[in-house]
Chains A and B, each alone.
Chain A
Amino acid sequence: MSRALSQKGSWTNALFVAPYLFVYLCLLIYPLIAGMGLSLFKADLFGGGSFVGFENFARLFRDEVFLQSVANTFYFVALTVPPLTVLPLLLALLLNRTTRVAAFFRGVFFSSSVLSVTIVTLVWRMILMSEGGLASNITALFGADAIAFLSDPKIVMISMAIITVWWCLGLPMMLYLSALQQVPKDIYEAAELDNASWWRTLWSITLPSVSRTIILVAIFECVLQFQLFGQPQLITQGGPNGASRPIVLFIFEIGFRRWDVGYAAAASQILFAIILIATLVQYFVTRKRGVQ
């Protein structure tokens, strides 16, 4: 009986995952493959198009606007991922206690994460505007000139990074807090009896205990920040001089302003490859170093 059941059950079991599988295939795998196909065509939004092979990719590597957007994106990731990995950990270490003050500040630091990108950019535009912004008012108080946070090509990406770090701090902090709370208390007690100083306990007990979460946050933030779009789109439209145009904004402009979807799809494939490689490199580097 059990044999008949298990044989019959072997395909009917698939029904349980079928709804998910269907949606996953339709909305993720199909567009992914269709996008790859599209990147080999010269096509616009009206459909049709002609097969051009790898011409779109060749064009991309000659396109200075695209190359600038790639450089911008890498610069932005380098500016945001380290602070978004380290700062939330420091906050979590500070706020991992049961006092009311800690609970209040956990709420404060998490609250920025629930805001939409529109609100965040609105708030920060009011802070960073050269004329009448909060920052310029403060510098004026000290008699200094206003800093061109949004119009200086050298500074604009740093401004985007500050906004993004402020916005995205909450979730990794919560991930770290939940990891910290899962470290058994008696290990800390054993460390106390083992004469471990505060620093030694942090370095030898706490950090190794949350190392998996550190890796998770680093990879997660990396994937997220390579896809920067809303902040520059809403504040600077990629300016000045393309200094704040990331890859996704480039894809958006090509695909939806110039309707050159084949070319935009090719740029998407390159972004996809960059994120994939960056994630795999991080994963294998941390694994090789024996972090568990």
Chain B
Amino acid sequence: MGTQSSRTGGRVSGIEISNVTKAYGATPVLDGVSLSIADNEFVAFLGPSGCGKTTLLRLIAGLEEVDGGEIHINGRRVDQLAPGARGVAMVFQNYALYPHMTVADNLAFGLKNVGIAKAEIDTRIAEAARILEIGEYLGRKPGELSGGQKQRVAIGRAIVKNPDLFLFDEPLSNLDAALRMRTRLELAQLRRRLKATMILVTHDQVEAMTLADRIVVMKDRKIQQVGTPMEIYIRPANVFVAGFVGSPPMNILKVDVDVSGAVVMARLAGGVFKTGVGSAGLPVSAHWRIGLRPETVKVGASGDGLAATVEFVERLGERTLVYTKLADGTPVTAEDAGTSRVKMGDPVGLKIDAGSAHLFDGEGVGYHAPESGE
């Protein structure tokens, strides 16, 4: 599942996090977390508030001390080092620019502290200013900049350090929607240009999906799944990941399963659906749930498919989301064309493409149809 850190010329590169634990007093926040990040990889830590993603980032940065476990960056153990000695640069959620210094001084501060020559500092600042297009603000103070400009300066302060690892702590969460989208795009371009290892902490799945090579989904102090964005989306490891990634969230419905055939047959609200999940190797479980992405549930005429009643309609333009209820009251989100004419209260039939459905056992572990070619 995880890409292993690579060995280049005898030097281990990448980030290796092994069995890291952390508690604040009696409250545990990270519970034996292990993770490998390859050189030049962009990884997103994704999860709800309180899942431990920010704490993990701060442990890597050195702003918190690990209680147990080790962190290695490019083969060097760093978990006992001071933050400044780890070769990492961080972009803070609230930018954390020094308010009384000009933009240029903000960028230069870290470089001066390690005794880099003035000419070299000037070159690096000029280069960062060129990349981020902040040249005209170099003489201003952070208070005179807009949110987006501050964000660029914060990124610039990280770039000039030429770090082994960039850490982004929810960097887009303080920007308005339009600016967030633009900055997201710029981050992606920046990443291609810089060729550095980057870790992004976010609770926004769109950010994680669009920016990261791999996503680390976290919940309850643990890593739930590590995979490429599409792996996470298509083959969620468990019912939490299935529900958390994807908007609107996956429908998760109780089903009875029949494993007598080659593939699992799911019985749901009077209908029987042939899933793509193989019966072989499926554990015995009393409680099964089926996971259906809204785009695999289409709205048809009443009497055609599972009988349901429309509760609410969301017209998004290119498609329409239809929130329905089955006869037994189970809510199901379905998708229809942008030109859909269904309205609240309409009886409809739901046509389910069960071939791409997911099954979850009583423990929440996910089972999926084999990928094509598998």
Interface string of B71-112 (1 = CB under 8 A from A): 000000000001111001110111011111100000001100
Given A200-B113, A204-B109, are A193 and B90 also a contact pair (CB < 8 Å)?
yes
* A9 CB-CB contact with B under 8 Å: no
How many residues of B are in contact with the other chain, CB < 8 A?
24
Query: In the complex, what distance in Å separates the CA atom of A196 from the CA atom of B111?
Result: 10
Asked if B63 is at the interface (CB within 8 A of a chain A CB), the reply is yes
- The answer to whether the Cβ of B114 comes within 8 Å of any Cβ in the partner chain is yes
Please give me the residue from chain B that is nearest to A201 by CB atom: B113
Chain B nearest CB, measured from A216 CB (Å): 16
Partner of B98, one of A192, A193, A205: A205
A208 touches B (CB below 8 Å): yes
| Cα distance, A190 to B94, chains bound together (Å) | 11
Contact among B100, B110, B113 with A209 in the assembled complex (CB-CB below 8 Å): B100
B114: A residues at CB distance < 8 A: 195
In the complex, A193 Cα to B97 Cα: how many Å?
A: 12
Q: Once the chains bind, are B84 and A292 in contact (CB under 8 Å)?
A: no
CB of A190 within 8 A of CB of B84, answer no
A186 close to chain B: CB less than 8 A: yes
Separation in Å of the B156 CB from the closest CB of chain A? 13
Cβ of B90 and Cβ of A204 under 8 Å apart? no
Which of B82, B93, B94 is A192 in contact with, Cβ under 8 Å?
B82
Q: Is the CB of A193 within 8 A of B94?
A: no
Q: Given A186-B94, A200-B113, does the pair A193, B100 have CB atoms closer than 8 Å?
A: no
| Total A-B pairs, Cβ < 8 A | 64
CA distance A195 to B113 in the complex (A): 6
Would B84 and A192 count as touching, CB distance under 8 A? yes
Task: Report if A63 contacts B (CB, 8 A).
Answer: no
Are A186 and B109 within 8 A (Cβ)? no
Interface residues of B in 25-77 (CB under 8 A from A): 61-63
Question: Is B98 a contact partner of A187 (Cβ separation < 8 A)?
Answer: yes
Give the distance in Å from the alpha carbon of A211 to the alpha carbon of B100 in the complex.
10
Q: Which A residues touch B100, using CB under 8 A?
A: 208-209, 211, 292
Taking CB atoms and an 8 Å cut-off, the chain A residues in 171-218 that contact chain B are 184, 186-187, 189-197, 200, 204-205, 208-209, 211
Bound complex: CA A292 to CA B63 (Å): 29
List A contacts of B113 (CB < 8 A).
194-197, 200
Contact partner, A193, options B61, B93, B101, Cβ 8 Å: B61
How far, in angstroms, from A204 to B89 measured CA to CA in the complex?
19
Q: Is the CB of A189 within 8 A of B92?
A: yes
Residues in chain A near residue B109, CB distance under 8 A: 191, 194, 196, 204
In angstroms, Cα B81 to Cα A195, docked, is 12
B53 CB, nearest partner CB in chain A, Å? 17
Q: A187-B97, A189-B92, A209-B99 are in contact. List 5 more A-B contacts (CB 8 A).
A: A186-B96, A187-B99, A192-B82, A193-B88, A196-B110
Q: Nearest 3 A-B pairs (CB), nearest first?
A: A195-B84, A194-B110, A186-B96
Could you list some 28 contacts between A and B, CB below 8 A? A184-B94, A187-B97, A187-B98, A189-B83, A189-B92, A190-B92, A190-B97, A190-B98, A191-B98, A192-B82, A192-B84, A193-B63, A194-B109, A194-B113, A195-B84, A195-B110, A195-B114, A196-B84, A196-B110, A197-B113, A200-B113, A204-B101, A204-B109, A205-B98, A208-B101, A209-B99, A209-B100, A292-B100
